[in-house]
A and B are shown apart, each in its own frame.
Chain A
Amino acid sequence: MSETRIDRRFKACAQAGRPALVTFVTAGDPDLQTSQAILNALPAAGADVIELGMPFSDPMAEGIPIQLGNQRALAGGHTMDKTLDMVRKFREQDQETPILLMGYYNPIYVREPKKFVEVAREAGVDGFIIVDIPAEADDELCIPALEAGLNFIRLATPTTDDKRLPAVLANTSGFVYYVSVTGITGANIKDTGRVADAVNRIKNHTDLPVAVGFGVKTADQAATIGKDADGVVVGSVLVNAIRESLDDDGKATDRTVKAVTDVVADLASGCARARSA
Chain B
Amino acid sequence: MNDMANSIRTGPDDRGHFGIFGGRYVAETLMPLILDLERHYKEAKDDPEFHAEIESLNKHYTGRPSPLYFAERLTEELGGAKIYFKRDELNHTGSHKINNCLGQILLAKRMGKTRIIAETGAGQHGVATATVCARFGLPCVVYMGATDVERQKPNVFRMKLLGAEIVPVTAGAGTLKDAMNEALRDWVTNVDDTYYLIGTAAGPHPYPEMVRDFQSVIGTELREQMMEAEGRLPDALVAAVGGGSNAIGLFHPFLDDKDVKIYGVEAGGRGLEGEEHCASLTAGKPGVLHGNRTYLLQDDDGQILEGHSISAGLDYPGIGPEHSWLKEIGRVEYVPVMDTEALDAFQMLTRVEGIIPALEPAHALAHVVKLAPQMDKDQILVMNLCGRGDKDVFAVGQMLGFDM
User: In the bound complex, do residue A56 and residue B303 qualify as a contact, i.e. CB atoms below 8 Å apart?
Assistant: yes
A132 with B25: in contact, given A57-B304, A61-B185, A184-B185 (CB under 8 Å)?
A: yes
User: In the bound complex, do residue B303 and residue A182 qualify as a contact, i.e. CB atoms below 8 Å apart?
Assistant: no
Which A residues are CB-close (under 8 A) to B293? 109
Of B27, B181, B291, B298, the contact of A155 (CB 8 Å cutoff): B27
Q: Is B226 an interface residue (CB 8 A)?
A: no
Interface size on A, residues (CB 8 A): 42
User: In the bound complex, do residue A80 and residue B23 qualify as a contact, i.e. CB atoms below 8 Å apart?
Assistant: no
Q: Is B171 an interface residue (CB 8 A)?
A: yes
User: In the bound complex, do residue B25 and residue A133 qualify as a contact, i.e. CB atoms below 8 Å apart?
Assistant: yes
Q: In whole angstroms, how far apart are the Cα atoms of A106 and B290 in the complex? A: 10
User: In the bound complex, do residue A107 and residue B303 qualify as a contact, i.e. CB atoms below 8 Å apart?
Assistant: yes
Contact with B along A149-178 (1 / 0, CB 8 A): 000001111111100100010000000000
Q: In whole angstroms, how far apart are the Cα atoms of A131 and B181 in the complex? A: 14
Of B23, B30, B177, B190, the contact of A137 (CB 8 Å cutoff): B23
Contact with B along A175-190 (1 / 0, CB 8 A): 0000100111001000
**What's the least CB distance linking A151 to chain B, in Å?**
17
User: In the bound complex, do residue B302 and residue A111 qualify as a contact, i.e. CB atoms below 8 Å apart?
Assistant: yes
User: In the bound complex, do residue B27 and residue A131 qualify as a contact, i.e. CB atoms below 8 Å apart?
Assistant: yes
Of B23, B30, B300, the contact of A110 (CB 8 Å cutoff): B300
Which B residues are CB-close (under 8 A) to A161? 32
Which A residues are CB-close (under 8 A) to B229? none
Q: Is A244 an interface residue (CB 8 A)?
A: no
Which residues of B from 158 to 210 have beta carbons under 8 Å from A?
A: 171-172, 177-178, 181, 184-185, 188-191
Which A residues are CB-close (under 8 A) to B177? 58
Which B residues are CB-close (under 8 A) to A132? 25-27, 288, 291
Chain B, interface SS category = mixed
**What's the least CB distance linking B182 to chain A, in Å?**
9
Which A residues are CB-close (under 8 A) to B189? 182-184, 187
Q: In whole angstroms, how far apart are the Cα atoms of A158 and B27 in the complex? A: 12
A110 with B298: in contact, given A134-B26, A136-B31, A184-B188 (CB under 8 Å)?
A: yes
**What's the least CB distance linking B334 to chain A, in Å?**
21
A168 with B28: in contact, given A60-B181, A110-B301 (CB under 8 Å)?
A: yes
User: In the bound complex, do residue A106 and residue B287 qualify as a contact, i.e. CB atoms below 8 Å apart?
Assistant: yes
Q: Is B29 an interface residue (CB 8 A)?
A: yes
Q: In whole angstroms, how far apart are the Cα atoms of A16 and B229 in the complex? A: 82
Interface size on B, residues (CB 8 A): 38
**What's the least CB distance linking B26 to chain A, in Å?**
6
A159 with B191: in contact, given A106-B302, A110-B300, A136-B15 (CB under 8 Å)?
A: yes
Q: Which residue of B lies closest to A62 (CB)?
A: B185
**What's the least CB distance linking B35 to chain A, in Å?**
8
Q: In whole angstroms, how far apart are the Cα atoms of A131 and B177 in the complex? A: 18
**What's the least CB distance linking B187 to chain A, in Å?**
10
Of A57, A108, A168, the contact of B172 (CB 8 Å cutoff): A57
Of B28, B184, B289, the contact of A179 (CB 8 Å cutoff): B28
User: In the bound complex, do residue A154 and residue B15 qualify as a contact, i.e. CB atoms below 8 Å apart?
Assistant: no
Which A residues are CB-close (under 8 A) to B287? 106, 109-110
Q: In whole angstroms, how far apart are the Cα atoms of A154 and B31 in the complex? A: 13
Of A64, A133, A155, A164, the contact of B32 (CB 8 Å cutoff): A164
Interface core residue of A105, A106, A111 (most chain B CB under 10 Å): A106
**What's the least CB distance linking A104 to chain B, in Å?**
8
Q: Is B71 an interface residue (CB 8 A)?
A: no
Q: Is A238 an interface residue (CB 8 A)?
A: no
Of A64, A80, A104, A134, the contact of B28 (CB 8 Å cutoff): A134
Which A residues are CB-close (under 8 A) to B178? 58
Q: Which residue of B lies closest to A79 (CB)?
A: B301
Q: Is B24 an interface residue (CB 8 A)?
A: yes
Which A residues are CB-close (under 8 A) to B15? 136
Which B residues are CB-close (under 8 A) to A109? 286-288, 293, 302
CB-defined A-B contacts under 8 Å, sample of 16 = A56-B302, A57-B172, A58-B304, A60-B181, A80-B302, A106-B287, A110-B302, A134-B26, A136-B15, A137-B24, A158-B29, A159-B31, A160-B32, A182-B188, A183-B29, A184-B189
Question: Besides the contacts A134-B24, A183-B188, what 8 more A-B pairs have beta carbons closer than 8 Å?
Answer: A106-B289, A106-B302, A132-B26, A134-B28, A159-B33, A182-B189, A183-B189, A184-B188
Residues of B within 8 A of A (CB): 15, 23-33, 171-172, 177-178, 181, 184-185, 188-191, 285-291, 293, 296, 298, 300-304
